Every structure is written in structure tokens, then in C-alpha cells.
Amino acid sequence: MAKNKIRVGIVQFFSDPKNPGENLEKAVTYIELLTEKSIDLILLPEMFNTGYGTSEEVLNNAVEMYDETIETLSAVADFNDVAIVGGIARKAGKDLYNSTVVMLPYNDPLFYDKTHLFRKEKEVFKPGKTLFTFSYSGVNFGVLMCYEIGFPEVSRTLVKKGAHILLVPFAFGRERELIYETTTRARAIENGAFLVTASQIGKSSEMEFIGRSRIVSPGGRLLADAGNAEGIIWAELNLSEIDTYRYTEKGDSHGYFANFREDLYE
């Protein structure tokens, strides 16, 4: 890694399907507040610009808001020299995808298309075909989305591809709070990786969202947690902790990577 430390920020808010323009405006306002904290990368929730859902209204919003969303994020990323990552639905050819856009300064957008779809998502979105990592400022990131937190294989594959930090946009139902609490810590601990989530809050016609956006250390500690409030959180990540937790067996360090039996899993 080229850097020993990196500063990441999170935006947490309710994205209203009836006001897509206001959603984008609100996201930009919070992004600009985070840039005042010398943040390197900012994470937004799943379907942050249109509201989460599978209704015709939401899907129409996604198509109509796509160009403006990409142009706006690109301009903000370039002007502030900050990476912006967030969930959007997008149309590619005839297919709709529940995607995450990665907007690096002075670059074209990159996309991860959600590979494991949940409930009604399967009726309207096409699943992605590949897992996704990217590098920024000498640090490797892996992207997964919401429901995919429950598939350990996704996070482990991203880490084996080199990810130091896992980024997870969420629009997660409050009734599954135990799953969220358990898996966000577990994926960080078992992979010796930082895990960063950005969640929606509030209540839509489809579900009540959990909020609780968080930054989890490779040892499972909460470095920041947004609770149920709309707003921003951030933390400086000490990347030297990654090797410590993956490969040493001192104190609270688990050393799972040093003792992993590759020969058993072929």
C-alpha cells in the first residue's frame, strides 16, 4: 500500500422516491460537508438518488436521473479531488441493474452490478456477472451491496483479489437488524479488513430502513456509527492494522490469514 492512512466518510439519509432531484441535491450537500474534513473517499447508500424500491416510479426515476447523477458526481469528485462511491439503479442496453457507481477524480465512472438479488429485485433487475475491486490512492477497495453482506464468499473473494477496505451501500430492512449487526462485524473480522457501510434511514412504502451506517476495524471495533440520524460520519483508517490482524497472533489479533488451510478448500 502506498499510504498508511486514509480518511473515509459516509452519508446517511432517507432517499425519497417522490423527490429524486432533492435526493441528489441532499447527497451533494453532505458530500461537500465531508470534503471539509479532508476525506479521501465518500460512500453513499444503495439507490441514493431515486429511493430504494422496485416500483415503476423508482425505475423511471433511475432512468431519468442517470445522466444528471453521473455528471454531478463527476463534477464534485473532480472539483474536490475526492472519490465518490454510491448505489444507483441504471439501464444498460435493455437491462436494468442495481449498481454501485465508483467515481474517481478525472476518470470515467466504474460500475459494480449487484450479483445477488433479494426479494422483488429479482423481478426487475438483471444480476451482475462479476465481482469488483478498484484501486485509489494506493489502496485497494472491494464493493458489495446490502443483501450480499450475508454471503461470506463475496467478501473473501474481494479480499483475495487484494481488497484492504470493503465498501457496502445499504438499503436494509430494520426487521433484519440482527443480521446487519452480526454480519458487518463478521465480514471485517474474518477478513482482517476495514468495512464501511452507508445505509438509508426512514421508512418507504416498501420497508423501514435500519440506518446505522458504520466503519468497522479489522478487529471488529466500531470506529464510527451514524445511529438513526441523518447526516455524515467519518474516520481515519490506520491501514497497518490490516496485516496485524491478518497475520499476527498477539493480543486481540486473530491471524486467520496466517493459518488458513488453502489445501482444504480446493
Q: Please give the positions annotated as active site.
A: 46, 114, 146
Separation between Cα atoms, residue 65 and residue 49, nearest integer Å: 8
C-alpha angle 121/123/128, rounded to 5°?
Answer: 60
How distant, in Å, are the alpha carbons of 106, 135, 143, 172 from that of 110? 12, 11, 11, 24
Closest of 211, 229, 213, 212 to residue 10, by C-alpha? 213
C-alpha angle 252/192/12, rounded to 5°?
Answer: 105
Residue 23: φ, ψ to 5°: -60, -50
